[in-house]
Structure formats: structure tokens, C-alpha cells
Amino acid sequence: MTADDLIALVRTYNPKTNARMLADAFVFGEDMHDGQFRHSGEPYFTHPVAVAGILAEQQMDDATLITALLHDTIEDTKASYADVEKRFSREIAELVDGVTKLTNLQLSSSETKQAENFRKLFMATSRDLRVTLVKLADRLHNMRTIKSMRPEKQAQKARETMDIYAPLAGRMGMQWMREELEDLAFRVLNPEGRNSIIRRFITLQRETGDVVEKITVDMEHEMDKAGIACDIYGRAKKPYSIWRKMQEKQQGFSRLSDIYGFRIITQTEAECYAALGAIHQRWFAVPGRFKDYISQPKSNGYRSLHTTVSGRDGKRVEVQIRTVEMHEVAEAGVAAHWSYRDGIRTENRFAVDPARWIAQLTERLDEDHDHDEFLDMVKLEMYQDQVFCFTPKGDVIKLPRGATPIDFAYAIHTRIGHACVGAKVDGLRVPLWTRLKNGQSIEVITAEGQTPQATWIDIAVTGRAKTAIRRALREEDRERFIRLGRELVRVSFENVGKKATDKALRTAGKALGLGNIDDLLERVGSAEITSRDVVSAIYPDLVKSVGAEIEARRAVIGLDADQTHRRAQCCQPIPGERIVGITYRGQGVVVHAIDCDVLADLEDQTERWIDLHWQEGTHSASNTITLDMTITNDAGVLGRICTLIGENDANISDLQFIDRKPDYYRLLIEVDLRDVEHMHIVMTALEADSNVATIERHRDPDRAGQVQRRS
């Protein structure tokens, strides 16, 4: 495509285009990319021109087309932001710079990095949606020409396209682009699967003839009978769309229905419903497959009637019915906001600016949110279809498919969600995990004093609900940790004859690099720092002189008055390590180290978990751990090892030989210690002995059923 070809294409929908500036951008881009080539061997500038062509087909404005021509200049050539701004405008320089920043995001990296890149992508998108439109067109052309890349690069780009760019195009309302991107990625990721579907299509056409043409003629006949002027288009669905249906329904191709789709484009909304009636009079409607997106539009402005009927020869076909205006929005999506016709920016009353959706999304994301939480929210916002439910007053609430009454409650208001204790669906009381369906009326039952439960995170589907629940749980934990921390520091200060005044705590917090008293107390309550550390920050000499020994039965904080505890023998936790309690019926609480392998098997039994902490102070040397040692087989070595342990105030409670060889022994020694610091002292002393070949702490998951009773 030459500059004249591009300008001629633009003039078909925008006769008032700034042809001089388009030509200047063409020349500037071609000059900047001179000497650069694509993997295929073509001059590199053919790519920006193709991207501009894709956007011109969407009838985009001049600024977007010029951005497409220049979108790689700042990144890959000697041109700078200032050069583009001076030659064209600040608007175009900002757009080109925005595309460059999106290009530099490594969107196929690890989950945590991917989450941060999603955040940046949406932040950039919310400033000017045209940046994303150029980037989507850029990715579409790259996928169309992907065969010239190395196989591993093709796979990476295809996965990135399937995971990010295709859903984003769909969320922007550009369904045609989503389908093409998915199918191009499918061709790379699963060529055999795609080819098998195409082969079956060819076989089907050979057996039945051109079904699309036959059904189109039938529909035109019915519309003529009903006196409805319309255009009808039919097509077989894309291979990836069929593949996805086969996977979702776990059906083979021969059993799959509705692989053909038809669109009826009318002039008025009334004609849409009249056409629906004519279709249903002629063919049997498939129950449960009718959707009215005209009275209940999708959040991206999409409007259409959807129905599935049993057509010619019993074959199911999907029919979409909409007006010309609705069809423009369905095809162009967000691009409808920037499209021109006859030199004037078109205004479509059905177009909804997705910038509002993105702005709302980014506003809800505080910078300190968990990366995985953010990624979950974005994927939920992008990937889910919708259901429409009603409040008792008749207001419509849009939710993702699979949403629950909890999602409904939070969609009304966060306060309603927090106070939710139950729900009625169409007048009947249902569990909170019930999946809602289209058209249901939901009544949320609330109660004063109710707070979100941790199990709600697994029940909720929407990002809004999950975020609100997590925030509430964090705040609740924070308040609990602050109360616990205040009690711990009070006791520690009293142990050295001092009071934990606000001034003392502020001074300690400043010394420990914490902003305020509540932050300090929260860290103490959550065991990130000890109350002994707080006292030591102000009175280091007093802390060294105080050391009343804590009895084993009082070693753990967080138990109810009637609960007893035992140390788990699989991980043998000792003071100084982070711990958690697991309840056992009739056996009290078993204390595990937070990194114990056994806990993985109990992840789905969170109601048995108890948040525990070690008591601050000097513990008695009654906490047994097992050391795995290899020592040389020489006279007196074992005796010297036992002496070293005793000299470091530890006691050997058991000793077992695992392996005896002529030159070495391997043995397990159970040693009674005070805490982690005491363990390090003992192990360091043993490791320093020349006759100790190896020493490490021994943990045995098979001993999970054994417990050491408290002293």
C-alpha cells in the first residue's frame, strides 16, 4: 500500500482528511525505518502501513492512523518524542509514546510480573483508548505474518495473544478482531486440532452441500413473507470457536450443534422483534438459548437478539438479529467512538465508551493490592459472559456468568455485601454459593454485626466482591493484631519495670522504621517483630538483664482458655519460628511450623486452622528437634559430639544410628532446646568440629500423626 492508496481509502469515509499530514507521516516513517527489514525479508515499514490499513478499515480518525504509521519510530529508530511532537503534534507524540510503552511490557512473563503489566496496560489504556486500538491492530498484523518467526517465538506470541490481546479485543467490543486473533493463535498452538476441524467441515459440505446458502434463502423467504426489509448474512463459525465448544461440552464434532451463525440486520428495533417472531414461527426454538441484549445491553454497548433454532434437516443454527446502528457497534466496538463518515465523526446512540469501565477498574485498584488479586480481578472482568438479575424494586444488576448472591450483594453496595447473611432467589431462601441465572429476582438478607467470612472469597466470582472481602478481612486482621500487639508490648514493658506509653511506642516505632503506633502494634501482633524487639529499641540494657523462663505449657499465645496444645513431630516447631495451630477433635491443638509440608494437605480445611504465636521471653529447654549428622568413625568422636551439645546448655533425649560404615556413622540425635537462636548456636558448634562431615535439621512428614505432649 502506497501513501496514495492509504489516503484514497481514508477519503472513502472521511473526505475532509488531512491528506498532507498523512502523506508527511508516511514519508517520515518510511525514512526512519529505511534499511530495516522484517523476519520475512520485507522492508520493515510495510508493517506500520498494514497496521494503518487495518485501522482505516475501521474508519478511524487521522491522529490514530498517523500514530499507526509512526508507532515503532520512537522505539526502533533515531526519532525521538520531541521529533514527533515538533513535526506533527503533541497529541500524536503522546499516542506514539503510549504505544511504545505498551510494546515494552513483557506480558508473557511470570504471574506476578504479568499482573503488574496488566495494571500498567489498563492505566495506559484509561488515558487514551486509541493507544490500545493501535496496539491491537499491531498484534493482528503480526499474527497474520507470524510464520516468518522462529517456532518458539511463534508459540510465545500466540499464547500471549490468546491470553491477553484476544480477550481485550472482545472486551472492547471488537468481536471480529477477537475471533481472528484467537484463530490465528490457535493455528500456531494447535495446528492439528485446527486442521482436523477444517477437514470435517469439508467433509460435511461434501455430504450436505452449501448449508449456509440454503438456510439464508429460507430466511430471506420468511422475512419477505413478514414484510421485513433486512440483510441476512450467514457463515460457518471459526475453527477455534468450534474447538472451544467441543472442549466445553465435551462433545465430538459430529455431535456438535449450532456450528453455523446468521445475522439479520433490520432498520428498526421493532423489526428486530418482528424478525424474531418470524424465525420462531418457521423453526423450532431451542429452549434456554434465547437472549435479549436489546432490552438488557452488555456493558460494552452490545445490543442484539440471540436465538438458536433447529433449522433445515434438523441442524441447529444461531441467529443474531439487530439494527444497522446496533450492528455498527457490534462490529466496531470502541472504534465506533473515533470513526468518521463523510468527514464528520459519527455518533452512534448505542455506543458505550469502555474507557469508563477501564477507569472504574483502575480506580478500584490501590497500589498496595496483592498482585495475584489484581490479576484475578482483571481476568474476571475481561473473560466472563454476563447474567442479568433484578433487585426487589426491579433494578437490573449485571453480573458475570456463575455469580452468586454474594456478588449480587456487593454489586449493590459494599456495605450490603459486608452485612449479607443470606439471600432469597425468586422468593425462596438459597445458600450463598448458589449460581444465579438470567432474569431471577434476588433479595439480600442482612444483619447488624455481620462481617465478611474468609470462605466467601472462594464463593464470590466478581473482582469487586473478592477485593472488598479481602480488604475487610485485612482490616479485621489488622484490628485483631493491633489489640494482640498492644497486650504483648504491655506485658514486655512491665517485665522490665516500664510502661508502654504512646510516647514510648512512637519512639520505638521510629527506631524500628515504622510510621505510627498502629503499624508497630500490628507487626507485633502478626509476629513480624517481637515485643522484646520493641522494648529493646528503647531499653536494650534492661532487656539483656531480664530473662524469666517461660514454662512450656504457657509457650503459645492464641489458644482459648480450655484448649491444650502439642508440638507436631513432623516439623518439630520451636520458639522463634512462625507457627499455626490445627485442631483435632478430642486431642486439642497441634502446633505446626508455618512451612510444614503436612499443611498442604489441610489447605481446604481452613476452619481447623488457628493463628498462633510464641510467648515472648526465655523459653525452657524442652523443645525437642532432631539433627541428622554424619561423623567420622574414630575413637572418641561421638563422646566429643555429646560433650559439645552439653556445653551449649542442650540435652540429648534420644540417639539413633541410621547407617554404620567403616569410615563414618550417620545418626539422628534428638536435642532439647530453648528456641531457634539456641538451635543455631548448637548446630554452629557441631559444624565447626572437624569430625562432623554434615549436619542438618531433620523433619519427617511421616511422623505427622505423632505429637509431643506439652510439659
Query: Mind telling me the catalytic residues?
Result: 75-76
Which residues is 631 bridged to in the sheet? 665, 692
DSSP 441: B
- Alpha carbon distances (Å) from 226 to 152, 262, 275, 416: 55, 18, 8, 49
CA distance 476 to 478: 5
d(CA 117, CA 106): 7
Quickly list H helices, 58-110: 62-70, 73-76, 81-87, 90-103
Three-state DSSP state, 442: strand
668 Rama class: left (phi>0) / alpha (psi -120 to 50) / beta: beta
Q: Reduce the DSSP state of residue 370 to 3 states and report it.
A: coil
| Contact present, 584 and 529 (Cβ < 8 Å) | no
Q: Which amino acid is at 443?
A: E
Rounded to whole angstroms, the Cα distance separating 704 from 599 reads 10
Neighbour count for residue 302 (Cβ, 10 Å): 19
Residue in 199, 163, 200 with CA at minimum distance from that of residue 181: 163
Are 613 and 576 contacting, i.e. CB atoms less than 8 angstroms apart? no
Contact 421, 450 (CB under 8 A): yes
> Nearest CA to 378 among 71, 76, 123?
123
Helix (H) or strand (E) holding 107, with range, is none
Q: Are 655 and 596 a contacting pair, CB within 8 Å? A: no
The dihedral over CA atoms of 448, 449, 453, 459, expressed in degrees to the nearest 10, equals: 10
Please state, in angstroms and rounded to a whole number, the distance separating the CA atoms of residues 168 and 136.
9
